[in-house]
Amino acid sequence: MNEQAVNLSETIKAIMAGADALLPEFLLVLFFLLLVTLDLFRSATIKSMLPWLALTGFFASLVVQVLEGRLGQSPQFLNLLFSDGLAQYSGILFSLVGICTVLLSVLNKRLDELQKGRGEYYAFLLLLVLGLNLMAKSVNLLMLFLAIELVSIASYILTLTLKENKRSIEAGLKYILYGSLSAGVMLYGMSFLYGLTGTLNHTSEAFGLALLQANPLMVTVAAVLVFAGFLFKISAAPFHFWAPDVYQGAPMPVVALFSTGPKMAGILVILRFIAPFFATGPASAFPDVWLLLGILAIVTLVIGNFTALRQQTPRRLLAYSSVSHAGFLLAALLAVGTNYTSGVLFYLTVLLFMNFGIFLVLQLAEDEFKVTKLTDFHGLGRFYPFLGTMALVYLLSLTGLPPFAGFMGKLFIFTNLWEAYNHTNDTMLLVLLVSGILLTGVALFYYIKIPFYLFFKGNYREENLVISLSNKLLLALFGLPLLVLFFKPDLLTEWIERLLTSTF
């Protein structure tokens, strides 16, 4: 009995000692419960406060994440979660994603008119960001699975926010089916890894050593199964089929959220997961896993870019654009032996502003001008020059052209791939580099479609609508970092490197 009491006491002490690692998550849970409770009241005043309470929760989490980075703290929680520099910076990104999603939601007409489920919508935004934080901090396979499923459940519900929309229901059902299948396959692969290594801590030295001693074929099979869940989260081939339908049917702020938050978390999870496989060098111990990731990156790039060329609706075009960005990020993770982590984080940061900016443009176009097809943009750029100019800024940055930060993001990835190729002479790295450069040129052809209709087609509309000041300010706010980070990328890269090295 005394021995049990001692063990219980030690466990409680360990939980309290690691509670600092979960302070941002505790804040998100607190505001989640607050929103769910307040949503029970029928008062119109309380209902109008709900989005601003969610915004406060994300700001509080952001402040805590920034302070943790400055203090250089890196506590862990029961060998399940570890708050290192990578997790802290990703937490900052996720808080920004939450803030941007709330701002877009407040400006979205259909969500503004939402009567039932208003509080639930903002509560599940908090829950989804909570899951993203846990994904980035997870160092235990079981904890990682639970975090991914938390994100998935919140995503399913957010997709079905507009229940009166048949496309939303169809998209939500497809999302649930694909997500359930990938989750089951991923969990099966994790069970294989546990059987091969005897540990669930996939970042530990023991995990890597056990992999080296295990049957290479079994390790490859297990890795393939686990990647099914990861690739689904980042909408990479061959698990990208859900993206076009979900992007078509979900509310615009939710689409912007899906194009950034889960993709960021999935890439960071893959970054941690592949470290033991290539600890002794690229393709040295597990050439099949190396080849698999390379092929997946190339296939994702090809499918994303060439399928986007055939799209006639802006939502589906941006869905396949998101698939192509997943391919670039997968390629970046293969530049083993270089300082690719800071390059990946830079690209993810830029992607946040690019995606939220272009989806805000599309939200305005849908709400104010009833745009559903690319041809519906005709002449809007000449009639509304500010909107057209900002759309051009985001699209050129998404393409990877100067003078915008998207160019610097792709330049860092290409530089790391070239440096890794010089070190290893691995043909796969050269193929990835050449494919990325050529497909960037292909991307220009589909991204330029929207500016073509905006500026080079006549305007046949009679209505004279006014774009609100809040929309204009938010468009400028998303566009400013894209200019600043092109001319001064070191403002971000130095901070990232300082944060990573201070806590690793």
Give yes or no for residue 284 having a pLDDT over 80.
no
Listed in sequence order, the DSSP H helices in 234-312 are: 242-249, 252-258, 261-274, 287-308
Give yes or no for residue 331 having a pLDDT over 50.
yes
Residue 430's pLDDT is what? 93
Rounded Cα–Cα distance for residues 364 and 387 (Å): 9
pLDDT digits (tens, 9 = 90+) for 191-212: 999 999 988 888 888 888 888 8
Residue 204's pLDDT is what? 84
Per-residue CA distances from 36 to 25, 61, 69, 146 (Å)? 17, 18, 30, 22
| Averaged confidence pLDDT in the chain | 87
Among 6-20, 47-61, 75-89, 396-410, the minimum mean pLDDT is found in 6-20
Give yes or no for residue 3 having a pLDDT over 90.
no
Give yes or no for residue 432 having a pLDDT over 80.
yes
Mean pLDDT score, 289-318: 92
The winner for highest mean pLDDT among 39-43, 80-84, 211-215, 307-311 is 307-311
Residue 377's pLDDT is what? 87
Give yes or no for residue 8 having a pLDDT over 80.
no
Residue 287's pLDDT is what? 83
Q: Report the chain's terminal Cα–Cα distance, integer Å.
A: 40
Rounded Cα–Cα distance for residues 504 and 294 (Å): 27
Residue 503's pLDDT is what? 46
Residue 44's pLDDT is what? 80
CA atoms within 13 A on the CB side of 279: 16
Quickly state the pLDDT bin for 4 (edges 50, 70, 90): low
Rounded Cα–Cα distance for residues 76 and 139 (Å): 10
Q: Which long-range contacts (CB under 8 A, 24 or more apart) does 70-78 make?
A: 72/502, 72/503, 73/20, 73/503, 74/503, 75/17, 75/18, 75/20, 75/21, 76/18, 76/21, 76/139, 77/15, 77/18, 77/19, 77/21, 77/22, 77/137, 78/14, 78/15, 78/18
Give yes or no for residue 433 having a pLDDT over 80.
yes
Rounded Cα–Cα distance for residues 84 and 69 (Å): 9
Quickly state the pLDDT bin for 301 (edges 50, 70, 90): very high
Calculate the CA 371 to chain-centre distance.
Answer: 26
